[in-house]
């Protein structure tokens, strides 16, 4: 059975508390808010993740091979699927 945890309530600061937070941030030179130029220069994280796109696309396919064929290629170590692809190509 799934057990749903209770999340703590979110407390939004009042206008006075918000002004105090902003004043504290502005007075700390190590924690200044980002400038408009800095915000525009930001890149979404998902565009930096993963490996670069390949020049040619591969096709996802489900194929069955005999256990001996798979064992042979797996015995060659990491990258066995790429080696198998090059042999079949």
For 31-69, what is each residue's pLDDT tens digit?
888 889 999 998 887 777 777 778 888 888 999 999 999
Contact 73, 83 (CB under 8 A): yes
Q: Report the predicted TM-score, pTM, of the whole model to 2 decimal places.
A: 0.41
More confident residue, 33 or 23: 23
Pull the structure tokens for residue 19.
Answer: 């002004």
Number of Cβ within a 10 Å radius of residue 3: 4
Domain ranges of the chain: 15-43+55-88
Length of the chain, please? 89
Q: Which residue has the tokens 């993963």?
A: 50
Residue 86 has pLDDT above 70, yes or no: yes
Residue 1 has pLDDT above 70, yes or no: no
pLDDT at 6: 81
């Amino acid at each position: 059975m799934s057990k749903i945890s209770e999340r703590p309530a979110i407390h939004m600061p009042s206008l006075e508390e918000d002004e105090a937070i902003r004043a504290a941030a502005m007075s700390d030179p190590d924690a200044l808010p980002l400038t408009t130029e800095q915000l525009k220069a930001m890149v979404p994280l998902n565009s930096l993740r993963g490996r670069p796109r390949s020049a040619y696309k591969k096709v996802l396919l489900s194929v069955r091979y005999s256990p001996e064929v798979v064992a042979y290629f797996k015995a060659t170590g990491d990258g066995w699927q790429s080696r198998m692809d090059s042999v079949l190509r």
